[in-house]
C-alpha cells in the first residue's frame, strides 16, 4: 500500500477497496501515516464521497481497531442516544439520568466539541473534578450498578475513530455523511448496546443544513445500526436556532440542571422526552408515546433524575455540590449584551455563527491544543418567531478574553434577522426515521 | 481568521479572498497553522481549483514571504527560462551560457528532480565541486559580473513555496494548475527578471499529459508574469519522448557540453534555440526569429558559449577540466543494452516509465535522503518514427547497482511500441502562447 496512490485515487473520485481503506486507516492509527496525509485523504473523501460499501468498510475498520463492550449480563435494556451535533444541545446530560432512573442501561460514549458545535464531554468537564476518562472495567461496573456511565472515547474503544475525529475537527472535514456515519456507528456498535436513538439535527446550526441531507444521514446511520442487529431509529430535529438558551460549557451544564429541576426551556425538554420515548418504546414495545413521555416527566417532577445526575457526578469524581449551589461557580470576567436592532419578529438566527462565536469566546478549540474556558459562552434571550422591540436584550456574551469579546460583539450584527410580519417557524421535531 | 472556515469555504468550491489566502499561507509559513490543516486546504484547492484572482493572490503571498532580488542596476536585459519538467531536458544548461554570451543577464533558480523528471541542480552537481548553494549576495554579484549564476532555491527566496512544495509532494496535490502556477511564478518573479520564457512540456513524459492541460497551464503562467509587468511567453513543447539521447545527470551534462561544441542532438538544439529566441526578441523586439536563432548558433560555432560554461563552472567551484576531458569521468560499473523486438517503426515510448527507470538506476531520489549516483542513467538510441530492425540497440542502461539494472531491464519490455507503418509524430514545438 502506497498512501500517496490511495489519496490520489480518492481525489479522482474512485471507489477504494475495503483492503485499501483498512490498510490506510490502520497505518494511520498505528502512527505509520502522518496527520498531513490523513487530512488530505479526509478532504478527498469529504468532497468526493464514499459508496455504501466504502462507508461500511470504514465503520468496520474503526470498530475493529479496538475493544467492544459486552453488556449481555445487564438485567435491563441497554441503549444509547446520539446527536449529530448542534448549538446549545445538552440533551444527553438530561436524558442519561432520566432513562437510568427508568431502568435503561446507558453506556454513553460522548464526544468533544466539533467544528462550531459543542460536545457533551467538554460540558461535563466544566464540573470541577468530573472524570470522563474511566477505564473500561470501571465504566462497565458503573453501567451495571448505576445504569449509567458518561465517558469519552475511553481506553481502547475505536482508537482509529478517536484519532480521526480530532483531525476532522480541525480540517473542516466534519460534514460528510460517510465520515459521520462511520464515526458515530463504530463507537455506538462498540458500546455493546441493544437500542439506539439518533438525534439528527437539521438547519443552519447543524452539520446537515437541509432536511434532505439530514434524511440521507439518518438513513445511513439507521441502516448501519440495523445491519449490526441494533434496534435503531432517528428523529430529525430542528437546529435553526440554539436548543434552549445557554451556549458554552458551564452555561449548558447549568441549564441541564435546571431542566432536571423542572425549570428547563420547553424546546429542550420536548426534544429530550421525544428521544427518551424512542428508547423506552424499544425496550417495551407496548408503551404508548404519551406514557413514555409521562414516565420521564415524573422522574423530573419527583427529583429522582436530578438525584441520579448528582450520583453520577459524585461517582465520576466530580463535585456534586457545585450543581446544588451553581452561583458559586466562577464567572467570566467580562460580558457584553447585544440588543435588538429593529422592532418586529425575530425571523432568523445564524446559528452556526453563534457556535463559532462561542469558540472565539473560549468555549471551544480552534486547534487541538487549545484549552477551554468553561465560564465563557452566551445566553440567547429570544426565540424564533418571538415579538421583539428595538433595544431588547437578545444575546449576552461572557468571556475571560476581553479582546475576543469585543471582536465577537462586532461580528454579530448580522446574526439576527427581524421581520415586520410573524415568520413561519420550522417544527422542532421534523421527522422520525426507522 | 479561523483556518477551519477557510478550508471549509474552499471545500465548497467558493472563491477565497486575497486576505484569506494571505493570512492562511503566512500563518502556515510561520508555523502557526499545522501541516494537517494546510494539506486539507491543498486537497480542497486541488479538487475545486482556484480562480485567476486566487492564483494571483497565492503567487503574491508566496513571493512576499521572502526576499526579492534586484537587478535593476544590470546594464542589459535580465531574463530567465523555466521548464515544467520532463525526461532528458537539459536545455537550461545550454541556454544559460548562450544567452549570457549574447548579453542577457540570467539569474537562474533551478530545481531538483521531481517525480519521474530530472532536475538541473542535480545535473550541475554531477560536476565535481559544483556549488549551487550560493548566498544571495554572491549570486547577485555573479549575475552582475558574469551575467549568469546557476543556483537552487537559496536563502530566503519564497520560503512559503519551499514549505508548501514539500507538503504537496507527499499529499498527492502536485498536479494542480493554480498550485503549480503560483509555485513557479513566485520564484521567477522573486528573481527580479524583466523577461521570462516558459517551456511547458506536453505528452506522456510531462506532468501535463494533454495539449489542452498544457495550454491551460501555459496561459495561467503567462498571465501571472504579465500581471507583474514581466515580458512572458511560453512554448508548449513535445515530451512524448526524451529530449536528446541522454537521461541521467552526468550523461545529460555531457550531452549539454556536446551541444555547446556543435555536436548536440537536433531536437535538443531546436528547443534550446527556440526558447532562446523568445528571450532575445523580448530584449530586442526588432530582431527576426531567424537572426535570433543565428546569433545563438554563432556562440556555439565560435566556442564562446562553451567557454562561458567553463567560466561559470569554475566560478561556482566546479572542476572545468572534467568538461574538457569528459572520458576521465568515472563510468558506472554495469551496463545493459535493450534491443528492438520487432522490425518496423518506433511508434511510442512510455517516457514517464523511462524517467522512473532512471531513478531506479540511481539517477534520482525515491526519498529525500537518497544519494544520487551521477554515473547512472541511460542513452536512448532511436527516435519516434525511426525505422528499426529486430535486434537494433534501442536503449543502453548504466548503473553501479547491478540488481537495480537487472530489475529495470526486466521492466522495460513494454516501454517501446513498434508499428508496421510509419506513425504520425507530434511536432516538437506545439504552440507558442503569449
Residue A155: the pLDDT is 67
Of B187, B201, B281, B398, which is the active-site residue?
B187
Residue A104 near residue A76, CB atoms below 8 Å: yes
Residue whose entry in the numeric block shows the C-alpha cell 490523513? A38
Contacts of A43 in chain B (CB under 8 A): 7, 11, 39-41, 43-44, 47
Crossing angle (nearest 10°) for helices A289-301 and A91-101: 100
Query: Does residue A139 fall inside a structural domain?
Result: yes
Domain match, A334 and A280 both: no
Of B81, B147, B163, B168, which is the active-site residue?
B168
Give dist(CA A369, CA A21) in Å, integer. 28
Asked whether the beta carbons of residue B43 and residue A38 sit closer than 8 angstroms, the reply is no
Instruction: Return phi, psi of residue A415, to 5°.
Output: -75, -30
Residue A366: the pLDDT is 77
Domain match, B298 and B415 both: no
Contacts of A360 in chain B (CB under 8 A): 2
**pLDDT of residue B332 exceeding 80:** yes
Query: Does residue A154 fall inside a structural domain?
Result: yes
Domain match, A367 and A348 both: yes
Residue A209 near residue B77, CB atoms below 8 Å: no
Question: At which of A324, A357, A377 does a domain end?
Answer: A324
Helices (H), A64-158: 91-101, 120-124, 136-146
Asked about B105 being catalytic, the answer comes back as no
In a mutational test of the A interface, the residue from B9, B39, B207 whose CB has the highest number of chain A CBs within 10 Å is B39
Query: Does residue B297 fall inside a structural domain?
Result: yes
Domain match, A132 and A196 both: yes
Query: Does residue A68 fall inside a structural domain?
Result: no
Asked about A365 being catalytic, the answer comes back as no
Domain match, A107 and A210 both: yes
Query: Does residue A140 fall inside a structural domain?
Result: yes
Give dist(CA A259, CA B260) in Å, integer. 86
**Residue A335 CB neighbours (<10 A):** 14
We report the CATH number of the domain holding residue A17 as: 1.20.970.10
Domain match, B138 and B17 both: no
Asked whether the beta carbons of residue B8 and residue A39 sit closer than 8 angstroms, the reply is no
Of A161, A238, A267, A373, which is the active-site residue?
A161
Q: Can you read off the three cell numbers belonging to residue A35?
A: 496527520
Q: Pick the residue from chain A with its C-alpha nearest to B32.
A: A367
Asked whether the beta carbons of residue B170 and residue A11 sit closer than 8 angstroms, the reply is no
Give dist(CA A161, CA A187) in Å, integer. 8
Q: What is the mean pLDDT of residues B97-106?
A: 98
Domain match, B271 and B393 both: no
Kindly give the parts of chain A with pLDDT less than 70.
155, 368
Residue B167 DSSP SS3:
helix
Smallest CA–CA distance, residue B164 to chain A, in Å, is 12
Query: Does residue A60 fall inside a structural domain?
Result: no
Domain match, B228 and B370 both: no
E strand or H helix at B95, and its extent?
helix B91-101
We report the CATH number of the domain holding residue A257 as: 3.40.1030.10
Query: Does residue A428 fall inside a structural domain?
Result: no
Residue B360 near residue B404, CB atoms below 8 Å: yes
Smallest CA–CA distance, residue A172 to chain B, in Å, is 5
State the pLDDT confidence band at B19, using cuts at 50, 70 and 90: very high
Q: Which of A241, A288, A61 is nearest to A159 (CA)?
A: A61
Give dist(CA A362, CA A370) in Å, integer. 9
Instruction: Give residue ranges of A with CB < 8 Å to any B CB.
Output: 4-5, 7-8, 11, 34-40, 42-44, 46-48, 115, 167, 170-173, 356, 359-360, 366-367
Domain match, A169 and A196 both: yes
Smallest CA–CA distance, residue A37 to chain B, in Å, is 5
**pLDDT of residue B115 exceeding 80:** no
Q: Count chain A–chain B contacts defined by CB atoms under 8 A.
A: 87
Domain match, A262 and A411 both: no
Q: Where are the beta strands (DSSP E) in B191-327?
A: 195-202, 231-238, 246-247
Q: Poorest-confidence range of A14-23, A90-99, B189-198, B411-420?
A: B411-420
Asked whether the beta carbons of residue A167 and residue B39 sit closer than 8 angstroms, the reply is no
Mean of all residue pLDDT scores within chain B: 95
Q: Can you read off the three cell numbers belonging to residue B40?
A: 486539507
Helices (H), A112-205: 120-124, 136-146, 159-171, 177-190
Asked about A82 being catalytic, the answer comes back as yes
Domain match, B366 and B273 both: no
Asked whether the beta carbons of residue B4 and residue A171 sit closer than 8 angstroms, the reply is yes
Structural domain boundaries enclosing B263? 79-324
Residue B114 DSSP SS3:
strand
Give dist(CA A161, CA B38) in Å, integer. 21
Residue A8: the pLDDT is 94
Per-residue pLDDT of B229-265, as tens digits, reads 999 999 999 999 999 999 999 999 999 999 999 999 9
Q: Which residues pair with B236 in a beta bridge?
A: B200, B431
Domain match, A237 and A384 both: no
Question: At which of A303, A324, A345 does a domain end?
Answer: A324
Asked about B319 being catalytic, the answer comes back as no
C-alpha dist (Å) from residue A171 to A13, A167, B50: 19, 6, 19
Asked whether the beta carbons of residue B35 and residue A34 sit closer than 8 angstroms, the reply is yes
Q: What is the mean pLDDT of residues B66-86?
A: 95
We report the CATH number of the domain holding residue A376 as: 3.90.1170.30
Query: Does residue A56 fall inside a structural domain?
Result: no
In a mutational test of the B interface, the residue from A43, A173, A213 whose CB has the highest number of chain B CBs within 10 Å is A43
| ipTM, 2 dp | 0.81
Rounded to 10 degrees, the C-alpha dihedral B8/B14/B17/B18 comes to 90
E strand or H helix at A231, and its extent?
strand A231-238
Question: At which of A302, A324, A346 does a domain end?
Answer: A324
The sign one gets for the Cα dihedral A10, A16, A20, A21 is positive
C-alpha dist (Å) from residue A105 to A48, A76, A226, A272, A384: 39, 7, 19, 17, 36
Residue A145 near residue A54, CB atoms below 8 Å: no
Smallest CA–CA distance, residue B158 to chain A, in Å, is 22
Contacts of A44 in chain B (CB under 8 A): 43, 47
Asked about A392 being catalytic, the answer comes back as no
Domain tally for chain A?
Answer: 3
Q: Can you read off the three cell numbers belonging to residue B400?
A: 553501479
Amino acid at each position: 500500500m502506497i498512501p500517496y496512490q490511495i489519496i490520489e485515487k480518492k481525489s479522482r473520485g474512485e471507489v477504494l477497496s475495503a483492503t485499501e481503506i483498512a490498510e490506510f486507516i490502520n497505518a494511520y492509527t498505528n502512527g505509520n501515516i502522518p496527520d498531513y496525509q490523513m487530512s488530505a485523504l479526509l478532504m478527498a473523501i469529504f468532497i468526493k464521497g464514499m459508496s455504501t460499501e466504502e462507508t461500511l468498510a470504514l465503520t468496520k475498520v474503526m470498530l475493529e481497531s479496538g475493544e467492544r463492550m459486552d453488556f449481555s449480563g445487564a438485567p435491563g435494556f441497554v441503549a444509547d442516544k446520539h446527536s449529530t451535533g448542534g448549538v446549545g444541545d445538552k440533551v444527553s446530560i438530561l436524558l442519561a439520568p432520566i432513562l437510568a432512573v427508568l431502568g435503561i442501561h446507558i453506556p454513553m460514549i460522548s464526544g468533544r466539541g466539533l467544528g462550531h458545535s459543542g460536545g457533551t464531554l467538554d460540558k461535563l468537564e466544566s464540573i470541577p473534578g468530573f472524570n470522563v476518562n474511566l477505564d473500561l472495567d470501571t465504566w462497565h461496573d458503573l453501567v451495571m450498578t448505576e445504569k449509567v456511565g458518561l465517558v469519552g472515547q475511553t481506553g481502547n474503544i475505536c482508537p482509529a475513530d478517536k484519532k480521526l475525529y480530532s483531525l476532522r475537527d480541525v480540517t473542516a472535514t466534519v460534514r460528510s455523511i460517510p465520515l459521520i456515519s462511520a464515526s458515530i456507528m463504530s463507537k455506538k456498535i462498540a458500546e455493546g448496546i441493544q437500542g439506539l436513538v439518533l438525534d439528527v439535527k437539521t438547519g443552519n446550526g447543524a452539520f446537515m443544513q437541509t432536511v434532505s441531507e439530514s434524511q440521507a444521514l439518518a438513513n445511513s446511520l439507521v441502516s448501519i445500526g440495523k445491519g449490526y442487529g441494533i434496534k435503531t431509529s432517528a428523529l430529525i430535529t430542528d437546529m435553526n436556532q440554539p436548543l434552549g438558551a445557554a451556549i458554552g460549557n458551564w452555561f449548558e451544564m447549568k441549564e441541564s440542571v435546571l431542566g432536571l429541576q423542572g425549570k428547563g426551556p420547553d424546546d429542550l425538554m420536548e426534544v429530550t422526552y421525544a428521544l427518551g420515548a424512542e428508547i423506552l418504546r424499544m425496550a417495551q414495545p407496548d408503551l404508548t408515546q404519551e406514557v413514555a413521555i409521562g414516565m420521564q416527566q415524573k422522574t423530573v417532577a419527583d427529583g429522582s433524575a436530578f438525584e441520579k445526575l448528582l450520583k453520577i457526578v459524585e461517582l465520576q469524581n466530580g463535585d456534586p455540590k457545585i450543581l446544588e449551589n451553581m452561583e458559586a461557580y466562577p464567572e467570566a470576567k467580562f460580558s457584553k449584551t447585544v440588543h435588538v436592532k429593529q422592532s418586529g419578529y425575530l425571523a432568523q438566527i445564524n446559528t452556526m455563527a453563534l457556535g463559532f462565536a462561542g469558540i472565539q469566546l473560549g468555549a471551544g478549540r480552534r486547534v487541538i491544543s487549545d484549552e477551554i474556558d468553561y465560564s465563557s459562552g452566551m445566553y440567547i434571550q429570544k426565540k424564533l418567531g418571538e415579538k421583539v422591540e428595538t433595544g431588547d436584550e437578545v444575546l449576552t456574551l461572557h468571556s475571560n478574553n476581553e479582546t475576543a469579546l469585543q471582536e465577537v460583539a462586532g461580528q454579530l450584527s448580522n446574526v439576527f434577522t427581524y421581520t415586520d410580519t410573524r415568520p413561519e417557524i420550522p417544527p422542532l421535531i421534523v421527522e422520525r426515521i426507522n
